[in-house]
Chains A and B, each alone.
Chain A
Amino acid sequence: AQSVTQPDIHITVSEGASLELRCNYSYGATPYLFWYVQSPGQGLQLLLKYFSGDTLVQGIKGFEAEFKRSQSSFNLRKPSVHWSDAAEYFCAVAALNNAGNMLTFGGGTRLMVKP
């Protein structure tokens, strides 16, 4: 069965600083990987996804993530954090079935941004 680990429960960065959120996955086949963001009281918004091809994927809001098969990692990065990036971030891996996918999420990383 697949699993996702996000080692950092909380991260605090200063506005304008760079950000890296860690994600490690366990999956028996080629993984389909996702990063979602959740703001308080809201649902999940997809930031980016990796299916195949280029291991560096670009997403919305200036985020990018790099798939490293050898390390079973899919870390999320942003070169310069804005105060509006404060939220909860979830990494997920998909198990495909005939209709779509079923997501397994990590426990999340809460990002706080200092002015």
Chain B
Amino acid sequence: ETGVTQSPTHLIKTRGQQVTLRCSSQSGHNTVSWYQQALGQGPQFIFQYYREEENGRGNFPPRFSGLQFPNYSSELNVNALELDDSALYLCASSSEDRFSNEQFFGPGTRLTVL
């Protein structure tokens, strides 16, 4: 069974640029959630995708957008990067069994905005 993978591992961008982060979900999982973890803080929920549609969103501006593909992998896109976007971005996959409710996290992508 393959776990959750994310790419790239690290990324450096400059303010105003756009970035795309990628996530492959664990086998058998059809739900992907994205979290932002700033340095020294707990992860914050960005949004969730279920069956290729956004299924919930946290308090993040529209310049944070996503996609989920038929194979349940996912992308997180951030436009007009700001310095405060520097963080570890975590992807988590889960099944639609709400009573199982366990999310499996990937290792994250470390984004630095200069």
A43-B90, A90-B43, A107-B41 known; A99+B55 contact, CB < 8 A: yes
CB pair B31 A99 closer than 8 Å: yes
Across the interface, do B48 and A32 meet the contact criterion of CB distance under 8 Å? no
Write out the residue numbers on chain B whose beta carbons fall within 8 Å of the beta carbon of A42: 107-108
Given A32-B101, A96-B101: A105 and B43 within 8 A (CB)? yes
Structural contact, A106 and B56, CB atoms closer than 8 A: no
A6 CA / B99 CA spacing, docked (Å): 25
- Tell which of B33, B41, B48, B102 touches A108, judged by Cβ atoms closer than 8 Å: B41
**Number of chain A interface residues as a range:** 20 to 34
Interface size on B, residues (CB 8 A): 33
| B72-114 CB contacts (< 8 Å) to partner A | 90, 92, 94-99, 101-108
B98 touches A102 (CB 8 A): no
The answer to whether B33 and A100 touch across the interface, beta carbons within 8 angstroms, is: yes
Q: Are B94 and A101 in contact (CB under 8 A)?
A: yes
Q: How far is the CA of A49 from the CA of B33 in the complex (A)?
A: 18
Min CB distance B37 to A, Å, is 8
In the assembly, what is the distance between CA of A19 and CA of B106, in Å?
A: 27
Measured between beta carbons, the chain A residues less than 8 angstroms from B102 are 46, 49
